[in-house]
Amino acid sequence: MGDRWHIEVDRSVCIGSGMCVGHAPDSFDLDSARQSHARSTTADAGERLLAAAENCPVEAITLTLADSGETVFPPEE
């Protein structure tokens, strides 16, 4: 069984670029105010989901391991 990631979108930071939807359309939607939200709070770990977080122009998406809370993205400095 693979890792599961917890997905969080900081809607106070989101600018509605839609990059997340473009990279992971099964994981994100934009609402009527063009704010991103995850379709589910957890998902299977995967390249598309990571690409969505990495390509968010304002780093509004945080991914953590669902079982431990360890940060996947953004990288800790």
Tens of pLDDT, residues 35-71: 999 999 999 999 999 999 999 999 999 999 999 999 9
Task: Identify the pLDDT of residue 41.
Answer: 96
Specify the residue for token string 């995967």: 46
pLDDT class for 1, splitting at 50, 70, 90?
low
pLDDT at 24 over 80: yes
Short-list 26, 7, 27, 28, CA closest to 16 = 28
Quote the pTM value.
0.92
**Mean pLDDT taken over the chain:** 95
- Rounded alpha-carbon distances, angstroms, from residue 45 to 1, 10, 35, 57: 11, 19, 23, 21
